[in-house]
């Protein structure tokens, strides 16, 4: 997997995350005041994490194989964790 392909796939996931975040913000408008502040903070934290991942992937240059493989592994792990957090936060809204 080369850098261009990896960046393309990562950016697709980042865009999907941005859409999930936008949806969560819409759901937030219907939350009761006592839970809304915590919910909004969670959304904001996840949005910041998504922006950090976006910056990391854009800054990544082709490196030697060891560094590149290490970056990909770490990035995919972080992206998976963020995706799970977004899904978990969104589960509230399905009920």
pLDDT value at position 62? 67
Residue-wise pLDDT for 22-59, tens only, equals 999 998 888 888 888 899 999 999 999 999 999 999 88
Handedness of CA 24, 26, 28, 30 (dihedral sign): negative
Cβ of 21: how many Cβ atoms within 10 Å? 19
| Closest by Cα among 26, 54, 52, 56 to 40 | 26
Evaluate if residue 63 carries a pLDDT over 70: no
Evaluate if residue 16 carries a pLDDT over 60: yes
pLDDT value at position 41? 93
Q: Are 90 and 23 in contact (CB under 8 A)?
A: yes
Evaluate if residue 85 carries a pLDDT over 60: yes
């Amino acid at each position: 997997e080369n850098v261009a392909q990896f960046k393309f796939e990562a950016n697709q996931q980042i865009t999907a995350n941005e859409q999930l975040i936008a949806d969560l913000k819409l759901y937030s408008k219907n939350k009761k005041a006592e839970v809304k502040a915590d919910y909004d903070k969670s959304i904001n934290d996840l949005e910041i994490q998504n922006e950090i991942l976006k910056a990391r992937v854009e800054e990544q240059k082709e490196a030697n194989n060891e560094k590149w493989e290490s970056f990909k592994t770490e990035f995919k792990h972080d992206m998976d964790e963020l995706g799970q957090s977004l899904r978990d936060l969104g589960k509230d809204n399905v009920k």
